[in-house]
Amino acid sequence: MSLVAKPRILVTYVTAGTGHRRAAEALAQAIAAAAPEADVQCLEFLTFAPRWFRQGYGWSYLFLVRHASWVWKFSYHAVDGQALYRGLQPLRRAWNCLMTRRFRAWVVAHPPALIVTTHFLPADVCGAAKRAGWLKAALVVVVTDLHPHRFWLTPECEMMIVATPQSLLVAGERGMSHHRLRQLGIPVAAAFGSAIDVLDWRQRLKLEAQRRTVLVTSGGTTVGQFEQVVEALLALEGPRPGQLQLLVVCGEDEIIRRRLEQRALQSPMPMRVFGFIDTMAECMALSDLVVSKAGGLTVSEALACSKPLVLYHIIPGQERMNAQYVAAHGAGVIAHTPAAVAQAVEYCLIDPSRLHRMQAQAKALGRPQAAADIAREVILPLLAKLPSAQTR
């Protein structure tokens, strides 16, 4: 009896923030469910880079967005321009390949049939490898922001997945072939599109049924005026007594989590404080409104749960596009100061119809099945076309 080789699928990401990883994990789960015969591996691409580069990559991004956002803004827009990008791209590609040169040895030892990436660095390296001829795997690039920056453009890929009609138009105008583009959304974990037992989770988190619930999240890493936003919302207990309660997720910032836990003990407004959690989908499902920074994954997760957003912090560049998209479609508002955040939330308490309209718009924009759609409409057809030699 002959054994049938399993196709090996690599889903890869880079940890610069947590969104790229969350999208990759969602895709890996969806692909494994859609193609149980495949060997699916989810891997941080900087595993192939030197330690100093791996550690410096994420650190430098966080440093810029926290302490020198004007540098990030200038760089983002400058390199997104055609002239500078055309001159810089050959150098960028050579540097990326040099820093991740161990990837070639991994491919030789573990040849994949298909590679899916949720970050532009592995997209670039894999594109260069395909052009050089030593990588035979099919390549799918999944853009995890609403604007396809030129860094995402990978003409060597078999398919590039974008989130919105505008993203599709921009990618096409920038030279991506129409037959290599699909608009299927940003992948989120299946839990964000699943029903939960609301009563059970309300009891677990000790939420009061008569109060509206607002989820305040910093994303994976705390940036912006997060604590000040929480304080501004707690102050609403004075003018709006008994109307609001908070779920506060601090991500990986343990210092802020401990401070806010102490603050919760003194607050007349109920507030539950968490660090990094794996129950974000449940917290969103319980909430009436999400107060967040404008990261692509957090925005997509909230919309998948039909939850409107108040966006309190916007990293210049990619997050500005995310925020403008949500606001333009009526699924959220941009609030640049803690006082503006509190005002936006208070308006929703005063006028419930406003909140209901925003929830309806959020539901219209949400793509809770994006990961499953990508697996079914892109990954499975590509696997069917692959020659049997491209299996393990």
**358: part of which helix (H) or strand (E)?**
helix 352-365
Q: Give residue 367's pLDDT.
A: 95
Q: What was the pLDDT predicted at 77?
A: 87
Confidence at residue 6, expressed as pLDDT on a 0 to 100 scale: 82
What's the number of CA atoms in the CB half-sphere (13 Å) around residue 298? Answer: 29
Range of the domain at 381: 8-188+369-390
Name the phi and psi angles at 271, rounded to 5.
Answer: -145, 125
Q: What is the structure's pLDDT at 389?
A: 41
**Statement to judge: residues 129 and 204 lie in one domain:** no
Residue 1 lies in a domain: no
pLDDT of 9: 97
Residues 237 and 276 in one domain: yes
State the average pLDDT over residues 178-205: 92
Distance between CA atoms of 300 and 282, rounded to whole angstroms? 15
Pair 167, 259 in one domain: no
Tokens of 76: 């983002």
Closest by alpha carbon to 368, among 225, 189, 120, 224? 189
Tell me whether residue 207 is in a domain. yes
Query: What is the average pLDDT across 97-125?
Result: 95
User: Residue 18: which pLDDT band, with cuts at 50, 70 and 90?
Assistant: confident
pLDDT score recorded for residue 33: 96
379 domain residue, yes or no: yes
Say yes or no to pLDDT of 3 above 50. Answer: no
CATH number at residue 237: 3.40.50.2000
Average pLDDT, the chain: 91
Top pLDDT among 220 and 277 is at: 277
Q: What is the DSSP string of 223-241?
A: -SSHHHHHHHHHGGGTTST
Nearest alpha carbon to residue 45 among 134, 115, 114: 115
Q: Are residues 22 and 112 in the same domain?
A: yes
Q: Is the pLDDT at 1 greater than 50, yes or no?
A: no
221 and 175 in one domain? Answer: no
Judge whether 2 lies within some domain: no
**Whether residues 159 and 286 fall in one domain:** no
pLDDT in tens, 239-298: 999 999 999 998 878 888 999 999 999 999 999 999 888 899 999 999 999 999 888 889
Report the pLDDT value the prediction gives residue 150, as an integer from 0 to 100. 94
Confidence of residue 220 (pLDDT cuts 50, 70, 90): low
| Same-domain status, 224 and 324 | yes
Q: Are residues 178 and 146 in the same domain?
A: yes
Q: What is the predicted pLDDT for the residue at 2?
A: 38
Tens digits of residue pLDDT in 193-217: 888 888 899 999 999 999 999 999 9
User: Does 15 have pLDDT greater than 90?
Assistant: no
Walk across the sheet containing 159-162 and list its strands: 39-44, 8-13, 114-117, 138-142, 159-162, 181-183
pLDDT given at position 373? 97
Report yes or no on 3 lying in a domain. Answer: no
pLDDT top residue among 194 and 362: 362
In terms of domains, do 89 and 166 share one? yes
Q: What is the pLDDT of residue 165?
A: 93
Q: Considering the domain boundaries, does residue 256 fall inside one? A: yes
Q: Are residues 242 and 175 in the same domain?
A: no
Query: Is residue 249, in this structure, part of any structural domain at all?
Result: yes
The phi and psi torsions of 208 (rounded to 5 degrees) equal: -90, 125
pLDDT, tens digit (0-9, with 9 covering 90-100), for 45-95: 999 999 999 888 878 877 777 777 788 888 888 989 999 999 999 999 999
Number of domains the chain is built from: 2
- Asked whether residue 357 falls in the same domain as residue 374, the answer is no
pLDDT over 50 at 392, yes or no: no
Across the range 34-51, mean pLDDT stands at: 95
Q: Are residues 302 and 270 part of one domain?
A: yes
Model's pTM, two decimal places?
A: 0.90
Residue 119 covered by a domain = yes
Residues 6+ apart with CB under 8 A from 108: none
Average pLDDT over residues 165-193: 94
Query: Which residues pair with residue 138 across a beta bridge?
Result: 114
